[in-house]
Structure 1
Amino acid sequence: MSGTQRRNTDTASRAKSAALSRHWKVAVLAAAGFVTMVSGGGTTAAASTDSAEEKPASAAAKADDQPDPQGHGAHGGKGPGSGKDGGSSGKDGGSSGKDSGDHDKAKRGGHHDGDHGRGSHEGDHEKARSVECDPNDLISAIVRANEVSGPGLLELSDKCTYTLTASQDGNGLPAITQRITIIGNGATIARAANADDFRIFEVEAGGDLRLRNLTVTRGKADADNGGAVNVRPAGRLDLKNVTLENNTVSDVSSYEGGGVYNEGITDIRDSTLDTNFGTEGAAVSNYYGKVDISRTKVTGNVSDGYATIVNEYGTTKISESYLSYNYGFYGGALNNYGGVTEVEKSALTYNVGYYGGGIYNQYGSLYLRQSTVRDNTATDGGGGGLNLTTSAVIEDSKIVDNTATNSNGGGLSIELDDDELGVAIRDSKITGNQAPGNDAVGGGIYVDVNSLVTLTDSKVKGNISDEPAGGVHNDGTVVTNGKVKIIDNVPTNCDGSANPVPNCFG
């Protein structure tokens, strides 16, 4: 049984979600510039009109979100903006093979980012098994690697496409039960376009799959989770310089993780997650597991339900990454449901959601630090940048130019449950956000009844709503500390709220 089926409290909301037709959602995305209609009634992801992606903020820059044409990451090295299109360098959007010493010199027994073979602690590295440009040879190599006690090291043929046409137990390749590293050399593993539905990889308990410099595409789980990769409890997945694109799960409400479904431990870095589809977690769904995503582009993914990245009762950390042009119902880019999610030095831009254009935080804790949430749109449910129903910390970040089209809270909509402690916003800027719908309030921040918000050394400026207050509309409790500026908001800064905001005039 999947995590979705355990969400009894969301039955009414899910019914509302199901009522939305696919045509409506496509129309919303097209209107936002997220998809472009093509012949035959299909859609394709729209290309960014920006010259460069948002730059994830560094500690020194304190959430400086200016575009970086050179694509340097937060530490001066090549980060997720190092490619021509703002992604990682390399033909498939992965990082250059020259970084971090990860040349993957398997045949010469070199080090592979810690991917040593048999006897690695003694320096006796296992030689890689070369895999011919033949899917049957790849299947045989994985079967053999699962049979041996030590780590298996496989090296694919340079830029080969391994096209899979059949499956066993819903998997295009043998399930991973040992530690296996696959050095891709720019190769692609794909489900044949006319084949029956099946995912590409499954990592079972005790399995440890490491993929390098590889593209995985067209995986489609049939009535199960994980379109490209399914990581079972006590399984482990490690991706570096990997592209997961155009992977899906069946269009049924109970299946999750178009790219990766994780119940174990997953580490994704220097990679690209693009144009994947899943009802929950179009790119990644983490259920009671642990996920780390760093220096990675997450773009053009579409979810019918809970966002592009979903953390459900697990722990997820996203750092130095871009989440852009994604769509989801409950959170365009990110949904935290009962877990702990940390986002730092990252940019969430041009995402679209029904509730929470950038982030929707439910029943868990969210930490947003040194990051930018810009130009996201909530189409109806409020919170153009963030929709928060549980406790959160926003620190040293920018919430800029977001829009709640038909509801409150252009930048943030804060509607906490009665037992939640509150939202803390420190050293941050909430500027240029809008709530233009009829009778909408809180262009910058909307604070609902029973909600507590603490503003410290922050600025709320130049936000607009249809009705007052345009800056901070407070129906709950707002506490201000340090240097707080709430100025130049339309139609008022704070006047018109049910409750006063300390040190706010006009």
Structure 2
Amino acid sequence: MSGSQDSGTDTASRAKTTTLSRHWQVAVLAAAGFATMVGGGGTAAYADSAEAKPASASRDDDQSSSQDKATHGGKGRDSGARGDKGKGQDSDHHGRARKHGHDDDRGRVSHEGNRDKARSVECDPDDLISAIVRANEVTGPGHLELAKDCTYTLTANTDGNGLPTVTQPITIIGNGATITRAANADDFRIFEVQSGGDLKLRNLTITRGKAADDNGGAINVRPAGRVDLEKVTLEDNTVSDVSSYEGGGVYNEGITAIRDSTLHTNFGHEGAAVSSYYGKAEISRTKVTGNISDGYAAIVNEYGTTKISESYLSYNYGYYGGALNNYGGVTEVEKSALTHNLGYYGGGIYNQYGSLFVRDSTVKDNTATDGGGGGLNLTASAVIEDSRILDNTATNSSGGGISVELDDDELGVAIRDSKIAGNQAPGNGSNGGGVFVGVNSLVTLTDSKVKGNISDEPAGGVHNDGTVVTNGKVRIIDNVPTNCDGSTNPVPNCFG
């Protein structure tokens, strides 16, 4: 991935891809039923408005039941503060420093003997800028309440940002408002949160942010910064140099929490929606749709920890993973649905060098164009548990449902209590319609079903060039052209 931190931390070098030509991207997306990108902002519509929902289903059902369930969620080149920290203290008329309590959903602060209302912000971008400057200067949390349904259009670029850098705890209650960069303005992101900054956004839309030669199209969270988004829409945000920079929506080196929100049609080289680098990200009950990366997935976790729960990741595109890329980090996916995503390697998920946990989730109708793993491409350890890998396709490679080609023969993939069905590897010479197990790779199947998968060459169910171990009740049936026959190595308890 791009660059290294100024701290000089010695990390594994991540291979760079040559930026794909825009014409090639358009051709691939069109072939998969995606609409083309619109203009430089990377806006993408998606072909099918129906959303697949996270499902909990019996392992023996041929179709997953839909439930509305789902979960939480770079490398800044300059981690130094760009904003001046506030020196003043908010005091009452007796000269005593006020005591501030915790904020509630209405943006008010309560404390012993007093009640402090949020500062109302007029429908004027200059008043919003002034309010943030003041909130950075006072002692204790600042609380701002925007004008209902107002659009705050920003025109001025200050150190790469449209609004003052956040250096203190600030809560902004949006009331349905929108903050946007003017169409004819210079390139700049909307928010930057520096070390010690703690930004909470509620019921707000952020759009058209465009970072100039830096990370985070809408929001950049520096190390030791924190962002908490609830009922927030990040839409049509991007980074200007897509061959180098990350996080079209959010770039996170601190702590980021996103819930009950929408990340839609954002664009960036790594992490079109969210890129988290050595950070912590939690994404819950959130829709991540129509985001496009010419490199690494809609959501990227690099050397950090990320949890995605009760969320939809649909109609996203990336070269290394359509929806999700885990690179050297720990990523959990729980009670979520990853559907109709498109990638070169791993239509739904590409797991590299880190640890991946997928639980009670559905990976369905995703496509890998050439690199294998229509649903998941795994080159590092992973656990897939109580999940459904359904109707995915690897068009010109192996592993229609799951491709396992581990980088280290001491690693392993465990698949438990799961169903792998209806996947395809139809390309000439492709095999492993359900699961492809590469040389020196270990897969352990426990109490799982591999059924009705198809490949061009055997085996159609589980093709094993490495080692497969089976435990409990494992059923590998009704696959074409064979269940396991034709593999280099045997699959225990598999016939035909």
State the AA in 2 paired with 1:312: E
Mapping of residues 166-177 of structure 1, within 5 Å: 166-177=156-167
Where relative contact order (Cα < 8 A, 6+ residues apart) is larger, the structure is 2
State the AA in 2 paired with 1:31: A
2:23 aligns to what?
23
Q: Identify the range of structure 1 (493-502 vs 415-424) with the bigger mean alpha-carbon deviation.
A: 415-424
1:469 aligns with 2:459: yes
**Matches of 1:463 and 1:340 in 2, distance apart?**
30
State the AA in 1 paired with 2:65: Q
1:289 aligns with 2:307: no
State the AA in 2 paired with 1:23: H
**Matches of 1:171 and 1:139 in 2, distance apart?**
11
2:306 aligns to what?
316
1:215 aligns to what?
205
1:325 aligns to what?
315
Match of 2:355 among 334, 340, 365: 365
| Cα displacement string for residues 205-240 of structure 1 (whole angstroms, at most 9, x for unaligned residues) | 000000000000000000000000000000000000
Match of 2:484 among 463, 475, 494: 494
**Matches of 2:39 and 2:134 in 1, distance apart?**
46
Q: Is the 8 A contact 2:314 2:340 kept in 1?
A: yes
**Matches of 1:408 and 1:274 in 2, distance apart?**
30
1:66 aligns to what?
65
- How far off its partner does 1:419 sit? 4.5
1:160 aligns with 2:160: no
- How far off its partner does 1:363 sit? 0.6
| Cα displacement string for residues 316-356 of structure 1 (whole angstroms, at most 9, x for unaligned residues) | 00000000000000000000000000000000000000000
Q: Is the 8 A contact 2:280 2:304 kept in 1?
A: yes
Q: Is the 8 A contact 1:313 1:337 kept in 2?
A: yes
| Cα displacement string for residues 119-171 of structure 1 (whole angstroms, at most 9, x for unaligned residues) | 4xx48543111100000000000000000011011000010000000111000
Residues 4/362 of structure 1: CA separation in 2 closer, same or farther (3 Å cut) = farther
**Matches of 1:38 and 1:337 in 2, distance apart?**
29
- How far off its partner does 1:31 sit? 1.3
Residues 124/361 of structure 1: CA separation in 2 closer, same or farther (3 Å cut) = farther
2:109 aligns to what?
117
1:48 aligns to what?
48
User: Secondary structure of the equivalent of 1:35?
Assistant: coil
Residues 458/60 of structure 1: CA separation in 2 closer, same or farther (3 Å cut) = closer
1:86 aligns to what?
none
User: Secondary structure of the equivalent of 2:116?
Assistant: coil
**Matches of 2:426 and 2:318 in 1, distance apart?**
21
**Matches of 1:39 and 1:453 in 2, distance apart?**
44
1:106 aligns to what?
none
**Matches of 1:62 and 1:338 in 2, distance apart?**
34
| Cα displacement string for residues 221-263 of structure 1 (whole angstroms, at most 9, x for unaligned residues) | 0000000000000000000000000000123422100000000
2:401 aligns to what?
411
**Matches of 2:58 and 2:149 in 1, distance apart?**
39
Mapping of residues 24-39 of structure 1, within 5 Å: 24-36=24-36
**Matches of 1:442 and 1:225 in 2, distance apart?**
39
Structure 1, unmatched stretches of 5+, are 81-108
- How far off its partner does 1:22 sit? 1.1
Mapping of residues 249-328 of structure 1, within 5 Å: 249-328=239-318
**Matches of 1:415 and 1:296 in 2, distance apart?**
31
- How far off its partner does 1:465 sit? 0.4
- How far off its partner does 1:497 sit? 0.4
**Matches of 2:195 and 2:469 in 1, distance apart?**
48
1:127 aligns with 2:117: yes
- TM-score calculated relative to the size of structure 2: 0.88
**Matches of 1:66 and 1:141 in 2, distance apart?**
48
State the AA in 1 paired with 2:330: V
**Matches of 1:199 and 1:387 in 2, distance apart?**
33
Would you say how many aligned residue pairs link Structure 1 and Structure 2?
A: 462
1:378 aligns to what?
368
The answer to which structure has the higher helix fraction is 1
| Cα displacement string for residues 246-298 of structure 1 (whole angstroms, at most 9, x for unaligned residues) | 00012342210000000000000000000000100000000000000000000
**Matches of 2:105 and 2:194 in 1, distance apart?**
23
Q: Is the 8 A contact 1:325 1:352 kept in 2?
A: yes
Match of 2:474 among 459, 484, 494: 484
Residues 4/253 of structure 1: CA separation in 2 closer, same or farther (3 Å cut) = farther
- How far off its partner does 1:115 sit? 6.1
Identity %: 79
1:233 aligns with 2:216: no
Q: Is the 8 A contact 2:229 2:257 kept in 1?
A: yes
| Cα displacement string for residues 394-414 of structure 1 (whole angstroms, at most 9, x for unaligned residues) | 000000000000001000000
2:336 aligns to what?
346
- How far off its partner does 1:27 sit? 1.1
- TM-score calculated relative to the size of structure 1: 0.87
| Cα displacement string for residues 90-139 of structure 1 (whole angstroms, at most 9, x for unaligned residues) | xxxxxxxxxxxxxxxxxxx99625966364xx485431111000000000
1:391 aligns with 2:390: no
- How far off its partner does 1:54 sit? 1.9
State the AA in 1 paired with 2:182: A
Structure 2, unmatched stretches of 5+, are 73-100
Q: Is the 8 A contact 2:248 2:267 kept in 1?
A: yes
**Matches of 1:473 and 1:60 in 2, distance apart?**
25
**Matches of 1:307 and 1:206 in 2, distance apart?**
29
Q: Is the 8 A contact 2:193 2:199 kept in 1?
A: yes
Q: Is the 8 A contact 1:118 1:150 kept in 2?
A: no
**Matches of 1:495 and 1:23 in 2, distance apart?**
41
**Matches of 1:206 and 1:137 in 2, distance apart?**
24
- How far off its partner does 1:3 sit? 4.9
**Matches of 1:116 and 1:356 in 2, distance apart?**
46
User: Secondary structure of the equivalent of 1:130?
Assistant: strand
State the AA in 2 paired with 1:281: G
